[in-house]
Every structure is written in C-alpha cells, then in structure tokens.
Chain A
C-alpha cells in the first residue's frame, strides 16, 4: 500500500497530508485535515453530503481519490465565510429554514454557492437543477430555493450598488 504525500490548497491555504493511493479526498479533508464540516453520507456519489468545490466546480469528494486532487484548489463549507462573516447563502439558509437536521447542508450549500457564483439571478428551475445531486431527507427543498433567491438578490444589489462600499 503506497502512502502518498498530497499537496493541495484548501480554503486558500496550502496544505500537505499523506494518504494511501486509494483513499478519497473526503477522507483526506475529514480525517487528515480535520475539516469535518464536509459530511460522509452514502459514500457512493448519490447523496451530495460530501460536495466540495474542486478547482472551481462542485464535486462529490467521496468519488475523488486523494492523489487525483494533488495540486488542486479545494473549497469546503469551512471556507465560505470570510472574516467571520457568513456568506449570504449561508445566512439565508438560516433565515429561510433551509435545513432541519443539517446533515445535507454543507454539500447543499456548496452546490448553491457554485450556482450563484456563476449565475446571480437563477430561476427556480436552475436552482433545482443545481441541487439535483443533493438529497435532503427531512425538511425539503423549498427553503433552499428561497434562500438561494434571497442570497442572489443581495449579491446583485451589492454589485449594482457600485464599488463605493
């Protein structure tokens, strides 16, 4: 069994950790780097609890081997808040009751974050398509749709509000 040194950027910081060549990025994040916000759900790419940003795109970290992420840039749920301020999509998740037990939220939030980073005025259908790979098994998706729309509106307003702020 080959132990490999994996170097990658996680939430803006260079990290290095050793992992066996058949261990996943999810394992690396949780068990080696202590970033337990990302959840281990089905471990087969169905539920979306483990979704993280990998080189700018949401992926199932349970379906990425650690050495495949060598040299990549990863953003996890721990990386969304900036300077102690929640990202708007996180804040509106709370205000709109977009979660109940919270287990799906880290992956769900990353998928929503990925959407509004590329589209700051998504339709309901676009939001549902963006979270098609994320299952919520307790509170449903209506709150998520509402939260994303509110967060997108705030981001648009901030952008349209000019550069003075």
Chain B
C-alpha cells in the first residue's frame, strides 16, 4: 500500500470539502480494521486518507424518536449501551459475535456498513430494524433506507463526494421482537457463512402486523426475503406459518460457494436458521405479552 497523504480534518465540513475536491482518491478511515487490510492487499489504493476522529461522529443518541448512531460509534460502544441492549437486542447480539474485543474497540458501525461486505454482521439487524443511512456532501444531506444502499459486493450508492455520517433507527413498535443468528466456523474472529436477523411485530389479536427477514452472506448484498416476509404478514404465529416462511427464504437466497461454505450448505442453513430465528422471535414476543 502507498498512501501519500494522511489528514485529520478539524471538522466534518473540512472533510467534506476535501472529498468534494479529491473524490474517490480520498478515502475516509474510521477504525481502519478492514480498510488497512484492503489497502495492504491492494484491493483499495487511496492516495489520501481522511481520519474523522475530530468530527464528533462517535455519539449514540437514543430518544423516543429512535436511535441515532454516528458513523464512528465503535462496536464496543454499541455493546456498552443500555439503550441498545433494551430496545435493539438483535443489534447487540450481532456486536457480541463480531470478531474479538481488540477489533471491536476500533471497528465502527459506519465502517461495517460502508465497506458493503455481503457478510457484514451489523447489517441484517440494522435493516431488520428499518435503519436509514445518512450520507453527507458539502452543503447537502440525503437519507435513504439502508436496504437500498448496497449495489454489490463492496459496492454502494455512495457518491465520490459523500461521507456516510450516521445510521438512524426508528423506535421499535410496542409488541415486537427481533433475533440475530450468525453461523461461522467458530464463535469468535469468524466471517459469517450465513448471518440473519428476523423481526416480528404483532397486533392486539397476536396477528403478525410487520415481518422482517434479512439475510446476509447468501447474496451479493444483504437482502430482505420479501416473499417470506409476505407469508408471515397478516398471519398467525403458528409453527406452520413460520416454517413456510423459512422454506420460502431458502428459495429467495442466492448464495455462492466460496472458501467459507458451499452454496448447498448455505441454502440449507438459510432455512434452518430462519426457522430458528423466527421461533426465537416468537418466544420473545410471547415472553413480552405474558410479562406485560
């Protein structure tokens, strides 16, 4: 790797000015845990690095309006947040199984998203919670659903003059629960073979009013299993319905075979793990209804 310039802008606007001028030549460095490796392997060769640590993007703001995560919030910060533990447990679950402590102390939520890895662990729970992504350029901001951000492995809709500054999640509905499951070759330090998140909301008659099934590492981008979600919506939480949705999710997945798992194994695991996640989500929902 050969980076010729390293700049730590004093403000986000300073960083955006440089991005406007230099475009893709300038690359933002947050935690660097992924970027440094990709630069060393010559997958990415930015000539200028922009270190955003003076830009105050490392804040977690939770209110009745939802959750705002600055792009520089680290995985460790997410893990230590009581708000996330209580309101967004599937996101916390993904953090628990993310690499190991030394990586979590550096890796950031913005980095995990902007790298656009199909196997990014934070992305399925974020999409399951209907996250939006905030993209800033000098004098402009656009907000779009995270599920629309990715266009291919390592590819996204981000423009050369834009910086991903944060993630926003709406408050979760009252009667709702979510689950994250990761399958890797070991519990720590593993890139997912399959990762996924499910979220269900029910109405007062215990009919499913909203369903999210978000699959990672089984398609070029993290994806919602829309047809499987449709099977769940407006139906009851019966074993048959949940199993039918899991089976449909398998049909929607389009994995490849690679060094971590074969296509056939990933398909099989998609069905098994979606079923498990839906059953676990139902158990959490009923736990909530009897408690509350």
Binding site for B on A (CB under 8 A): 1-2, 4, 20-22, 24, 43-46, 48, 51, 54, 57-60, 62-65, 67-68, 70, 111, 114, 129-130, 132-134
User: Which of A44, A48, A70 is in CB contact (< 8 Å) with B102?
Assistant: A48
Q: Which residue of B lies closest to A130 (CB)?
A: B101
Binds A, one of B2-10, B195-203, B205-213, B273-281: B2-10
CB pair A132–B51 under 8 Å, yes or no, is no
**With contacts A21-B6, A21-B49, A22-B1 known, is A65 near B36, CB below 8 A?**
yes
- CA A43 to CA B36, docked complex, whole Å: 10
Which residues of A lie under 8 Å from residue B171 when comparing CB positions? none
Indicate whether B37 reaches chain A with its CB closer than 8 angstroms: yes
Which residues of B lie under 8 Å from residue A51 when comparing CB positions? 102
Distance (whole angstroms) from the CB of B118 to the closest CB of chain A: 20
CB pair A132–B188 under 8 Å, yes or no, is yes
Which residues of B lie under 8 Å from residue A60 when comparing CB positions? 33, 102-103, 106
Indicate whether B257 reaches chain A with its CB closer than 8 angstroms: no
- Which chain B residues (98-138) contact chain A, with CB distance < 8 Å? 99-103, 105-106
14 new A-B contacts, CB < 8 A, other than A24-B36, A45-B99, are A2-B5, A21-B3, A21-B6, A44-B37, A45-B102, A51-B102, A59-B105, A65-B36, A65-B49, A67-B8, A68-B32, A68-B51, A111-B102, A132-B187
- CA A24 to CA B33, docked complex, whole Å: 12
- CA A45 to CA B31, docked complex, whole Å: 12
Which residues of A lie under 8 Å from residue B37 when comparing CB positions? 44-45, 63
Indicate whether B29 reaches chain A with its CB closer than 8 angstroms: yes
- CA A57 to CA B101, docked complex, whole Å: 9
**With contacts A21-B49, A44-B37, A65-B49 known, is A58 near B102, CB below 8 A?**
yes
Q: Which residue of B lies closest to A4 (CB)?
A: B6
Binding site for A on B (CB under 8 A): 1-6, 8, 29, 31-33, 36-37, 39-40, 49, 51, 53, 76, 99-103, 105-106, 187-189
Which residues of A lie under 8 Å from residue B33 when comparing CB positions? 45, 60, 63
CB pair A48–B100 under 8 Å, yes or no, is yes
Give me the 3 closest cross-chain CB pairs, A-B, nearest first.
A133-B100, A21-B6, A132-B188
CB pair A22–B3 under 8 Å, yes or no, is yes
- CA A51 to CA B188, docked complex, whole Å: 16
- CA A132 to CA B103, docked complex, whole Å: 10
- CA A67 to CA B258, docked complex, whole Å: 35
CB pair B189–A133 under 8 Å, yes or no, is yes
CB pair B105–A67 under 8 Å, yes or no, is no
CB pair A67–B51 under 8 Å, yes or no, is yes
- CA A60 to CA B36, docked complex, whole Å: 12
Q: Which residue of A lies closest to B3 (CB)?
A: A22
Distance (whole angstroms) from the CB of B43 to the closest CB of chain A: 13
Among B3, B5, B99, which residue has the most Cβ atoms of chain A within 10 A?
B3
Which residues of B lie under 8 Å from residue A111 when comparing CB positions? 101-102
- CA A4 to CA B31, docked complex, whole Å: 20
**With contacts A46-B189, A68-B29, A132-B189 known, is A22 near B2, CB below 8 A?**
yes
User: Which of B6, B76, B100 is in CB contact (< 8 Å) with A65?
Assistant: B6
Which residues of B lie under 8 Å from residue A46 when comparing CB positions? 189
Distance (whole angstroms) from the CB of B75 to the closest CB of chain A: 11
CB pair A2–B6 under 8 Å, yes or no, is yes
CB pair A134–B100 under 8 Å, yes or no, is yes
